A and B are shown apart, each in its own frame.
Chain A
């Protein structure tokens, strides 16, 4: 049984489907609407992934160019956002590969915490979480982005990343474990958890 969509997600998908049908018919205005809607969503994770807005925008335009060309190929058996995210994800991997991932991706994870537990305040937690994500592999970061940032289900993430559902679960498991390793405040022992003293 597929994970249910919220009312808002269902409404957005209905709207996206209507737009995509018009895009498949060559409707520029529908494409512009879809583009504007997805530009912000894609820019969020692509800017974090590449750490360069110009590269993120290049990937966005490459991905949405594919959407324009292939709109009529959309089979309709997944959410439109899943389909578009999958295209953007593959374009991002291709760009990272062609330009060299080390240009964009932070140093590999080490076992040292980024910050001591008692240095994390609740207001800073978000910043540290995002910093901690930079220590994850690209695949682990993307699982976190798609699950927490975009509300995709496990099955949808598997489709986006073109991998088995169990691979998504494994990547998520390790990503969460690594986040906790570098951010001890998240492990339930720091003040951010309210349980340390």
Chain B
């Protein structure tokens, strides 16, 4: 490997600050006498600046965290009956030493919980076998029914601290479903879930705007 090839392979680690000291010394000496590699170094810096640039999109990590925490708590509720250990685990910061005890407590409940869960699953399988219909559940951001796939939509932004349960409640009270979203700006596209309800109306948008958990609601093109 010639010096230029070696230098080229090291430049990325120089610009990202992870070059080893001995390589750094060698590369600095090489760059002092090599204009081509100095030009390449400036290119590498531009690549780094472009890739490391912060996005202009405004993220809302707190509301995303709330959704994840709801999921974690939901799983915990499914798996473990309430016990003093789990109540403490859910609602307060536990000292590190007490965690193994709490986990041991949870493990003691596990067989019972699993048996109960298995019974519920078997029961559900039976019901589904009899009905042989599509599942009646749908998550908030699942694909909307075909009826909601055409026409204008209501573009809505929810408050940063809104919880998943709030969104479900708002949607249920207005008969709307999420067609798409959230976009990078946090915008959800909403449309009537039932085709018999017709297209979205200004009344529906106005009703959404009266809800303090909705920051923005306007009819717009899909």
Contact = CB atoms under 8 A, between A and B. Distances in A.
Contacts of B19: 3
B68 A193 contact: no
A22 to B, nearest CB: 7
B36 A192 contact: no
Given A21-B96, A126-B53, A54 B182 contact: yes
B72 A152 contact: no
A26 B99 contact: yes
Contacts of A133: 51
A35 interface: yes
B68 A27 contact: no
A192 B123 CA distance: 67
Interface in B17-49: 17-21, 36, 39-40, 42-43, 46-49
Interface residues on B, range: 35 or more
B16 A40 contact: no
B184 interface: yes
A188 B94 contact: no
Interface stretch (A59-67, A86-94, A105-113): A59-67
B47 A144 contact: yes
A149 to B, nearest CB: 4
A152 B46 contact: no
Contacts of A25: 94-96, 98-99
Given A25-B95, A53-B183, A195 B39 contact: yes
B43 A173 contact: no
Interface in A15-40: 21-22, 24-30, 32, 35-36, 39-40
A6 interface: yes
Contacts of A150: 52
A101 B93 CA distance: 41
Contacts of B57: 43, 47, 53
Interface residues of A, number: 57
B163 interface: no
Contacts of B40: 188
A137 interface: no
Contacts of A24: 96, 99
Contacts of A126: 46, 49-50, 53
A36 B51 contact: no
Contacts of B96: 21-22, 24-25
Interface stretch (B58-66, B114-122, B148-156, B209-217): B58-66
B39 A144 contact: no
B113 interface: no
A49 interface: no
Contact of A148 (B12, B65, B102): B12
B168 interface: no
Nearest to B92: A28
6 contacts: A25-B99, A43-B55, A54-B183, A129-B50, A154-B18, A173-B9
Interface of B: 9, 12-13, 15-21, 36, 39-40, 42-43, 46-55, 57, 59, 61-62, 64-65, 67-69, 71-72, 89-90, 93-96, 98-99, 102, 141, 181-184
Given A129-B47, A129-B50, A179-B47, 13 more contacts: A3-B13, A25-B96, A26-B94, A32-B69, A36-B62, A43-B59, A64-B68, A126-B49, A144-B51, A149-B48, A153-B13, A154-B18, A173-B9
